[in-house]
Chain A
Amino acid sequence: MNNYIIETNNLTKKFGNFVAVKDLNLKISRNKIHGFIGPNGAGKTTTIKMLTGAIHPSNGIGTIDNFKIGSKKGRSSIGYAPAESLFYQNMTTIDYLVYIGQIKGLSQKEAVEKAFSLIEYFELDDNAYRKPFNFSSGMKKKVIVAQALINDPKVLILDEPTANLDPTARINIIEILKKLISERDLSIFISSHILSELESLVDEVTLVRSGEIVLNGSLHKVKNIFNKGQYQIDTSNNNFLKKYLEKNCNEFITSIEENNKGLIIVNVENENRYKLESVISPILSHFKIRLLKFVEEETSLDEIYKKIYDSKQNMR
C-alpha cells in the first residue's frame, strides 16, 4: 500500500489564460494531519475541488487512496466539508445527514444510526429536527463536518473549516477537530489561512502561493528550516555554564545572555546549531551539572508564513 493517501503529480488547473494551480506535487501521508496553507487566491479551494472531483484538472494526475482523483472509488474514500456551509432549505439536520449518508452508499437504517451518533458527537442533539439552513455559522460548520464523516472516510478534506466563524465558534470547531484526530485513524487534509490554529493540529504542511508550492514537509522539518538558532538552557548551575560557554565556545556562539527568569539564552548561526547541541552534553556530564531544560525557540507557522510571503513580495 502506498504511504500517501493523497498524491498529485503536476496537477494543473487553468481557467482560460488564468493559471489557478500550477504543477502541484502534493504528498499527503496516511493517518497524518496535513495543513494546506496559503493566502486567499493561492489556489487552495481549486486544488481541493480537483481532489474531490468537482473540477477537472487541465493537466497532471492525482490519486486518493490509490484511486484516480475524481473517480467514483477515489470519491468514496473522502469526506469533504466545503468552505461554505450549504444546505437544502427544506431539510432538518437529521434529514440532511441521512440524505447525505444514503447518497454515500449507506442503507437508510445505517444512515439514520450514523446520523444520530454524529449528532450526539457534535452536540447537536437539540437541533436535530431544526433546519441547518437557519443555523448560526458555527452550528452550520458542525453539520457540514458531520456530513463529511458519515461514510467513515479514509481521508477528511476540510476547506477553511474556521473561515467566517466568530472566535467562540472557531475554538469550538478546533476542539472538535482535535477530538476527532485523537479518537479516529483519519488522514486529514485541511486548508486554512489562519495559521495559529493549524499549528496545534497538523503534522505536515504545504505552503502555496499563486497556485504553486513554496514549501512543504513535516511541521518539524519546516520549522527547523526557519528556526532562528536561539536556545533556552536551564541547569543546576547556570552561572558556571554561561561563563564556560562564553570562554570556550565563542567561535560558534553569536551571543549569550541570561534572561529575567535566570535562563541562559544562546544564539547561534543556523549552521552551528548542531555544534552547540553536541557540546552541551559532555560539558554538563564533565562538570556534573544537571540539565533542567534545553529547547530551541521554535518559529511559529505565522512567522514562517510571513517570512516566506514577505520575501516573495520583496522579490517582485
Chain B
Amino acid sequence: MVILINNFRNLLNWKSTLIYIFVISIVPTIIGFVLKSEIYDGSMSISSQTDFTIGIYYILVFMWVLGIPFLIVASAKGIGLIANEMSEGTLGLLVSMKISRYQILIYKWIALYIVMLLLGTLGIFTNITIITTISNMDNNIKTLLIESIPNLIKYLILIGFIFSSLSILLSLLIKSKVVAIISITFYIVIIFLIIPLFKTLLLSYYEQYYLYYIDLNYHFSLIYYYFIDANNNTFSPAIQSVVGNFIGVFDLNKGVDKDLSVITGITLMKAAPVYSYLAATNLIIYWMLFGIIGLIVSIRILTKRDIT
C-alpha cells in the first residue's frame, strides 16, 4: 500500500499537475473565445448554437482533453514508474524486501490509473468551466455539456485502463525511458492525426485491406461515440461532417444528400450513418482484455526478470 501512496504522490505532484492543467486549458480557452465571437454573437439560432457547441465540445474532449496531450502525459508518467526505478537501481533493493514483484507492479499501476482518472476528470471539468465561462453560452447548452460528464468519465475509465496497462508494459519492454516515451507519443499521434487523414484519402484501400481492424482511431472513436451517444445527442449533418474528420465514426460519403445536391448544385448533407465495420461493445471487451493481458504480461516479465 505504501508503494501505491508514494507513487501516487510522485505522479500527482503540484508542479507538474499545474503545468498540465495550464497546457490542457490553452485549447478550450481559444475555443471559448471563438465560440463567443462566432456563435454566440446573436445571429445564430439556439438550435444551431447547441449543435455547433456540442459538436466542437466532443471533438475537443476526444482529441485534446482525453486525447493527445492527456494520453502522452499519462503514458509518460507510467513509463517512468518502472523504468526510473530500474535505471536508478532502487528496484534491486525493492525486490529484496518482503513484497512480491507482482504487488510492486500492481500498486504502481493502480497509482497510475487513479492519477489518469484524476487528471482526465480534472481536464473535463476545466474544459467545461473555461468554455462555459468565456463563451457566455445559453444555460440549456451548459446543462447539456454538464450532463455529458458521466459518459465522458466512462470513456475515461476505459481509455485510462488501456493506456496505463500499455505504458507499464512498455516500460518493461523498452529499457530506455526516452525511447519508450517517443514510441508511445508516435503511436498516439498516429492514432489521432495520421490515421484519420489516411482514412479520408484512401478509403478504398482501408476497406479492401480490412485496415479498420488495426485502425485504433476508429476503435477509440467508435467506443467514444458509443458512450456519448448514450446522451442521445444527435449531430446535425453539418456537424457530422466536421466531427467525422476527427472522430472517424461517421460514413460521410453516405451522408451526402445526392438528390438535393444535384438539384441545388451544392453539396448538401443528410444524417450520415456510423461505420459498422466493428461493434462498439465488442471493441470495449477487446480493449478491456488487451489491458488485462497487458498487465498479466507485465507481471510475468517483472517476475521473471533479473534485476541487475
Contact flag A86-B96 (CB < 8 Å), given A55-B306, A99-B6 = no
Complex contacts, B234 vs chain A, CB 8 Å: none
Contact A75 B88 (CB under 8 A): no
Q: How far is the CA of A214 from the CA of B14 in the complex (A)?
A: 56
Whether A217 sits at the interface, judged by CB under 8 Å, is no
Set B2, B3, B90: member contacting A87, Cβ < 8 A:
B90
Complex contacts, B97 vs chain A, CB 8 Å: 75-76, 100, 103-104
Q: How many residues of B contact A (CB 8 A)?
A: 21
B68-106 residues at the A interface, CB under 8 angstroms: 88-90, 92-100
Q: Which residue of chain A has the shortest Cβ distance to B10 in the bound complex? A: A90
Complex contacts, B99 vs chain A, CB 8 Å: 72, 103
Q: How far is the CA of A204 from the CA of B97 in the complex (A)?
A: 26
Complex contacts, A87 vs chain B, CB 8 Å: 90
| Closest CB in chain A relative to B77 CB, distance in Å | 15
Whether A88 sits at the interface, judged by CB under 8 Å, is yes
Q: How far is the CA of A243 from the CA of B99 in the complex (A)?
A: 70
Contact flag A52-B89 (CB < 8 Å), given A90-B10, A103-B3 = no
* Stretch of A77-85, A169-177, A277-285, A293-301 contacting B (4+ beta carbons < 8 Å): A77-85
Q: How many residues of A contact B (CB 8 A)?
A: 25
Set A80, A84, A105, A151: member contacting B89, Cβ < 8 A:
A84
| Closest CB in chain B relative to A80 CB, distance in Å | 4
Whether A54 sits at the interface, judged by CB under 8 Å, is yes
Interchain residue pairs with CB less than 8 A apart (30): A52-B95, A53-B95, A53-B96, A54-B92, A54-B307, A55-B306, A55-B307, A55-B308, A56-B304, A72-B98, A72-B100, A75-B98, A78-B96, A80-B93, A80-B96, A82-B89, A82-B92, A86-B88, A86-B89, A86-B90, A86-B92, A86-B93, A88-B90, A90-B10, A99-B2, A100-B97, A103-B3, A103-B97, A104-B97, A104-B98
Contact residues of A with B, CB < 8 Å?
49, 52-56, 72, 75-76, 78, 80, 82, 84, 86-88, 90, 99-100, 102-105, 147, 151
Contact residues of B with A, CB < 8 Å?
1-3, 6, 10, 88-90, 92-100, 304, 306-308
Q: A82-B93, A104-B98 given. 13 additional CB < 8 A pairs? A: A49-B306, A52-B95, A54-B92, A54-B308, A55-B308, A72-B98, A75-B98, A80-B93, A99-B2, A102-B1, A103-B3, A103-B94, A147-B93
